[in-house]
Amino acid sequence: MERKTQTGYLVLADISGYTSFVAKTEIEHADMALSFLLEVMVEKLSSLLTVCQLEGDAVFAYVEESKLDEASALLALIDHTYLAFRDKALALYDQSTCPCRACLALPTLDLKFMLHHGEFLIQQVAGAKHLLGTDVNLIHRLAKNHVSESTGWQGYALFTSQGLERMQTDKTSFVQQSESYEHLGQVETYIMDMHTRYEEMKDS
């Protein structure tokens, strides 16, 4: 067993609409579609991050700060991952001749990102890595937020103030709001609408 405390970036990419998608559609086709989408997410994220865990409809990844040359590359990574996800979902929909509810509902799936900078403990057991620590708990708690409620956005990137400041990114282009969690207190967050970014990327 290896235990090592590191400082770096934690990223959680979570498919929006997953629960209702599975509940209201044929499970076999829903599972196949989600597998394709998760593969795209893992492929893109692993180009820069270490994918630590698949969590149902989400991918949890991290990068140690010492292994990241340019923190701004994380913004590009989020852009490229979202672009690939949306393109794949729409391609699966366009290519399908199946009239089942799962295939018809593919365009309703979206992707949200949570990014935080902090400390974490790397625990290796039986060849598998697991991350522990308060900041690891926080990144997962951030998946339950008020972004969709306050903005109407289903696809977005949410950064903690620590994350943006460490990345030396200008906050003025983000929507600021705060979240509150038991035992963790108030968390200042900055949000970007990924639908707008998607259209900008397609146009360019």
155-204 confidence digits (pLDDT tens): 999 999 999 999 989 889 899 999 999 988 999 999 999 999 999 988 87
What is the distance between the alpha carbons of residues 74 and 50, in angstroms, rounded to a whole number? 13
What pLDDT, on a 0 to 100 scale, did the predictor assign at position 114?
98
Please name the helix (run of DSSP H) or strand (run of DSSP E) that holds residue 131, with its range, or none.
strand 128-132
Q: Which pLDDT belongs to residue 128?
A: 73
State mean pLDDT over 123-143.
88
Cα(142)–Cα(146) distance, rounded to whole angstroms? 9
Relative to beta strand 2-16, strand 58-64 is antiparallel
Structure-token pair, residue 182:
């038991």
**133 contacts 120 by C-beta, under 8 angstroms:** yes
pLDDT at 27 over 70: no
Residue carrying structure tokens 């979206």: 110
pTM (2 d.p.): 0.90
Q: Which helix (H) or strand (E) holds 202?
A: helix 194-203
Looking up tokens 């593969």, which residue turns up?
39
Residue ranges of domains in the chain, CATH in brackets: 2-203 (3.30.70.1230)
Burial of 82 (0-12, 13-18, 19+ CB in 10 A): buried
Three-class SS state of 40? helix
Cα within 13 Å of Cα(193), Cβ side: 11
